[in-house]
Amino acid sequence: MFGNRAQYTWGIDGEILWLKDHGTECRSLTNDLENCLVEVAGQFPEGKKLTDFKIIYRDSEKEWDGICITQIGDDLGLKISIDWLKYSAERGRPYWTDYVKINFFPIREMSYESAKQSILANERYKHFDDSLGV
Parent domain of 24: 8-132
Number of domains in the chain: 1
Q: What is the 3-state secondary structure (H, E, C) of the chain?
A: CCCCCCCEEEEEECCEEEEEECCCCCCCHHHHHHHHHHHHHCCCCCCCCHHHCEEEEECCCCCEEEEEEEEECCHHHHHHHHHHHHHHHHCCCCCCCCCEEEEEEEEEECCHHHHHHHHHHCCCCCCCCHHHCC
* pLDDT at residue number 65: 97
Does 35 reside within a domain? Answer: yes
Is residue 127 in some structural domain? Answer: yes
Does 3 reside within a domain? no
> Are 126 and 68 contacting, i.e. CB atoms less than 8 angstroms apart?
yes
Residue 82 lies in a domain: yes
Please state, in angstroms and rounded to a whole number, the distance separating the CA atoms of residues 112 and 10. Answer: 13
What amino acid is encoded at 12 in this protein? I
Give me the tens of pLDDT residue by residue for the chain, a chain 134 residues long: 445 789 999 999 999 999 999 977 788 999 999 999 999 999 998 889 999 999 999 999 999 999 999 999 888 888 888 888 888 878 777 777 888 999 998 999 999 999 999 999 998 888 987 665 54
**Alpha carbons 70 and 104: distance in angstroms, whole number:** 10
- Give the Å distances, CA to CA, from 15 to 23, 25, 85: 26, 31, 27
pLDDT tens digits for 51-62? 999 999 999 999
Q: Judge whether 120 lies within some domain.
A: yes
